[in-house]
Structure 1
Amino acid sequence: MKHLYDYELGLKLKNKNAVKTTRNAEQGNGWTLVSTGKVTVDIECDSWNGFIDLFHHEGALKENNNYVFRGQASENWSLEPTLKRAMGNIDKQVELKVLETFKKYSLGRRGQNPPQLNTDEWWALGQHFGLSTPLLDWSYSPYIAAFFAFNSNQSDTENVVVWALSKKVNEKPCIEQLKEERHIQFLSPYLDENNRLINQRGLFVKTPDMMCISEWIELIKENGTIDLARILIPKSEKKFALDSLDKMNINAFTLFPDLSGSGMYANYVNNRELTT
């Protein structure tokens, strides 16, 4: 029988630091992978170094391109977009009205001769400027996702979370049989008005009817690849993690290429100097 991590995330059996613990768990250097469903796992990292080890295997580096990542400061937060959190279950007409309202109040504020945008691009622009939208922010980089998980004062649990979602999830036979509008959408609308998206290696995920992703994933009935992983890292590692990420040039200054990024990074540098 293949190990759980022999399927995805690149944690191959050839890794001499990874050992089998039980039928439903795998363990590496500072992390433990436990199956939580047919295509879902929890990966518990003992420390920031455990998280680094998880993604620094040869196989993992190859498989990273098959996943997108999202950082959250609390284990209790669901994978729901802000519009769902703000208004609950709403129909398409209400969703459209939200967007039309944003368009109305954007008139004259996009500069001279602004480009025409399609619906997804409008939602992406609104997401950038604080509009509640049906989109959820993700990144192609697990380390950028980790930055957003740690760079928050809102954590109310012992761990922060980095989620990993397979980009191949729509290719599962049971999902392919569904109508396309029931698939998850991966959107990358790069706009001149949203330069943060490029620096953050960002993209958006949109689910049917704004379903929570962890609920949508339950539609998958086949065993096999890991399609959704919840990676837990102790929030007590915050200072060490942010300092480590800063050395990778992942910080507010690079991820927010505007004056707000300058201010946030200045705060970080000043606080670091005061505590060392």
Structure 2
Amino acid sequence: MADSAYSWEDSKLRAADLSDEAQGSKLLFRGHASSNWDLKTTLERSPHTVDIETYYSTILKIRTEVQTYTNQSWPEDPAFDKIQSELRSGYDSFSRFVTFGNFPHYPYLAYLRHHGFPSPLLDWSASPFVAAYFAFRTSSDEDVAIFAFRERGPSGMKVGGSDEPTITLLGPYVAGPRRHFAQQSRYTVCTKWEKDWPYFSDHSDVCRAFDPNAEFQQDVVFKFILPGSERRKVLTELQMYNLNAFTLFGSEESLMECLSIREE
């Protein structure tokens, strides 16, 4: 995807223009503390397998411990044997169950993503300002990046096939943790059917830079590169909107981060 350098003021104007141009397709945002980082999930950056069946086996195995220590609770439906059966019944079954169905155990997956367990969910925000906070929260002179993602074109249609990885957008209406709502979270998950087996895949295999001459586009990503030197200005402005680590995370650790940044 093409990279574009922006100031903070210019990036806000361009993000507003992109939202207007999206014509009904929701624009989502994601911030990176380094402009060199790729769009990779925490699962891809971990030693865990991207095999979908094995991943579900792992997270359902640890669920009782997570529930015990967090006082949270998630339904056991669908059970693992149901997931296993659907995944092993061929591409059509997998596609109906995962790509076009209600993503299995979505509330539990959202909780795991927000609390550090390696996840196939790539998290986005409906707010470019939340994305900006994540881009600038770490003190560094390195250039940062804010990504904008548009899943569908003006027609609202989306196409795909069994031989191609597919991005599925998971929306805001889920019984997720409080920070899911504070951060206006949305998620994308990329899956593929390869050698008769389902895997989580790399978003960069699907996402494309915007082409103004193309008649039809989907899974489009815009990348804004901003200088790290604008950190103080950006965080000061976000604080005026009461947007900081504590309001986004709500933990004692985030309160300390908020106070530290404020006192800089």
Q: Same fold (TM over 0.5)?
A: yes
Letter in structure 2 aligned against 1:257: G
- TM-aligned CA deviation for residue 183 of structure 1: 2.7
Letter in structure 2 aligned against 1:111: N
The gaps in structure 2 that reach 5 residues or longer are 77-103, 192-198
Greater Cα shift, 214-223 or 116-125: 214-223
SS at 1:93 equivalent = helix
- TM-aligned CA deviation for residue 122 of structure 1: 1.7
Q: Are residues 1:212 and 2:205 paired?
A: no
Aligned-partner Cα distance in 1 for 2:155–2:46: 31
> TM-score under structure 1 normalisation?
0.69
Q: Please, which of 97, 121, 139 is the counterpart of residue 57 of structure 2?
A: 97
Structural RMSD (CA)? 3.3
Q: Are residues 1:203 and 2:163 paired?
A: no
> TM-score under structure 2 normalisation?
0.72
- Whose relative contact order is higher, 1 or 2, with alpha carbons under 8 Å and at least 6 apart? 2
Aligned-partner Cα distance in 2 for 1:124–1:200: 12
Aligned to 1:76: 36
Q: Please, which of 108, 112, 117 is the counterpart of residue 122 of structure 1?
A: 108
Structure 1 residues 162, 218: closer, same or farther in 2, change over 3 A?
closer
Structure 1 residues 172, 115: closer, same or farther in 2, change over 3 A?
closer
Greater Cα shift, 194-203 or 214-223: 214-223
Aligned to 1:16: none
Aligned length: 226
Letter in structure 1 aligned against 2:235: L
Q: Structure 1 vs Structure 2: percent identity of aligned residues?
A: 25
Matches within 5 A, 1:34-113: 40-45=1-6, 47-57=7-17, 60-61=19-20, 63=22, 66-87=26-47, 90-111=50-71
Q: Are residues 1:176 and 2:166 paired?
A: no
Aligned-partner Cα distance in 2 for 1:219–1:267: 37
Aligned to 1:8: none
Structure 1 residues 50, 135: closer, same or farther in 2, change over 3 A?
same
Structure 1 residues 116, 270: closer, same or farther in 2, change over 3 A?
same
- TM-aligned CA deviation for residue 252 of structure 1: 1.5
Aligned to 1:14: none
